[in-house]
Amino acid sequence: MHARTIRALVASASVLGALAVPATANAEDAGVINARGVNAADEPTVRELLEKCDNGTDSCVFHPAGEPEYFTADAKQVGDPVYNCTPDDQRHNVSWSDTTSQSNSVGLSMTTEAGFGKVFAVSYEQTFQHTWEESHTESQTTFVDTRSHQVGWVERAAQMQKVRGTYELHFEDKFHDHYIWYVNDFEATGPAQDSSTAVSQHTRDMSQEEIDACP
Per-residue pLDDT tens for 64-121?
Answer: 999 999 999 999 999 999 999 999 999 999 999 999 999 999 988 888 667 999 999 9
Contact 73, 100 (CB under 8 A): yes
Closest-CA residue to 167 (of 127, 131, 123): 123
Contact 142, 201 (CB under 8 A): yes
Residue-level pLDDT at 191: 95
- Angle CA(190)–CA(13)–CA(2) in degrees, nearest 5? 105
Mean pLDDT, residues 29-35 taken together: 75
Mean pLDDT, residues 145-162 taken together: 97
Residue-level pLDDT at 31: 79
Residue-level pLDDT at 41: 63
Look up the pTM and report it: 0.77
Residue-level pLDDT at 139: 94
Mean pLDDT, residues 128-148 taken together: 94
Q: Dihedral through CA 71, CA 10, CA 28, CA 187, nearest 10?
A: -10
Contact 64, 177 (CB under 8 A): no
Residue-level pLDDT at 128: 94
Residue 49 backbone dihedrals phi, psi, to 5 degrees: -70, -50
Closest-CA residue to 201 (of 125, 123, 141): 141
Residue-level pLDDT at 33: 73
Residue-level pLDDT at 110: 87
Strand 30-34, strand 178-191: pairing: parallel
